Structure 1
């Protein structure tokens, strides 16, 4: 689409959960470590809590591709709005169990335990991940608890990850679900980005796509992206993607504040002023890195007095604005 215009290899702001474009804020980095630990150590239940669009699915896929989880095989459910019978049938099919297991919960549990024991004896951990778990009924959450009970005398055979919006955590406070809550071994909470993290997120994705962020967005455009997106990664990507399309159509590069404002209005987004008085701390040229994935980049820099991007050769003498995420 606009790759040639901006000199990119890939589209930097696609909404698919591609670990290649992963950006780790401090909270996202902590959550990823907890997910990897919970899966590789076969913890009974791990919670991943975050608002819609904060990157839960991307983190899950990244964890499963990590070296720590190379012996983990995952059954992934992303449509938990099922009846109890449909839930049993789905599990039987995903775990490659017999037709009889799909018709009886008792048969399912017995056959599943045998399968899990065989896999574990072969050195394989099998995990169940339920995305959008806030949509599970109380009855299905109780079924999940029964799955968490499958164990030997020394270890859990089916580690579970329940990923969902904050309502999931609220629902686990229901007295009817206290036994499930007691089995939660790890909890990961994702928060929205602050201004510095939004800037780093944009820079990381553009660099991964083969571009130079300082030539694609002005400082004030990034600030406005943050205000309209409220620091939600998915919304940041939507705004930036459409702003780049508009910039190409208008023949304006880099994308400026006016383009971001127009795109945000088109999506009926409402600006928050919470970052209006927050200035990014000036610093020397900054390097942001993610040791887990070997990503490193020199942060492009734009002077606060300039409404437009500066030339690459000026960067070492300028204050950084695509700085680190405050790690």
Structure 2
């Protein structure tokens, strides 16, 4: 594979900035972080599913809205983890000639769906919280604390695994981690709320904490939603003007006529450009192609470029 025609996301070992001869073709077959991510997702999925069932039963028994909201977060976690796992399976195993960049965009779709699911659950919790503020009910604080603490431990273990070993630069894993992190904070809020309710009898604190958590979730999920939408709308992941300036540093490039840069998935940038050139033959063009591809790779992490050369006669 030519060094300017990568069809897989870059890893940190895929490129470097130290000086050596770049005229050879690079070997890009490095360790795929998705293998580790997949194992983490399986473990997290099993642990979260089990805890979700336990929390749901006891949220009904304790009549705790905060615990029920935390259960809903866990359900959204299970859904998110499952989708993230399916996305990795598709990326690694599915092949289709019609999908020329593979199934990498599926990771972005999953992140988009995960962000939406967090927003929906957060809005629902706020609605229920307002309803309970108007119609307060008694809460079994002791049961609420015990179950929430167990959920806190599960979320803490899963969150630590993802933070320590998962590739959080990948938006798919980032969305799964966000779900896990939100549930971790949720469990923490429920535990704190249970302690306050147990010692003071102020049942409103349970509802107030649920609202605070939901607003925090909305903020994070909207940011993730914007990020995934930008990729789906093929917004440039790097500054276009900066790329144009870098290209024009080469004397052979007279004008950047047209330039498009898109992000297929994390660390997989693709550029298409029409350049007006001052060259006389294809050998010069090939040399320029190699120089441009190398600097775009090292400076902007663009691993796949296509150049349409233009001369004054509009030909090469």
Q: Could you tell me the TM-score, scaled by structure 2's length?
A: 0.26
Which entry has the higher C-alpha Rg, 1 or 2?
2
Between Structure 1 and Structure 2, the one with more helix by share is: 2
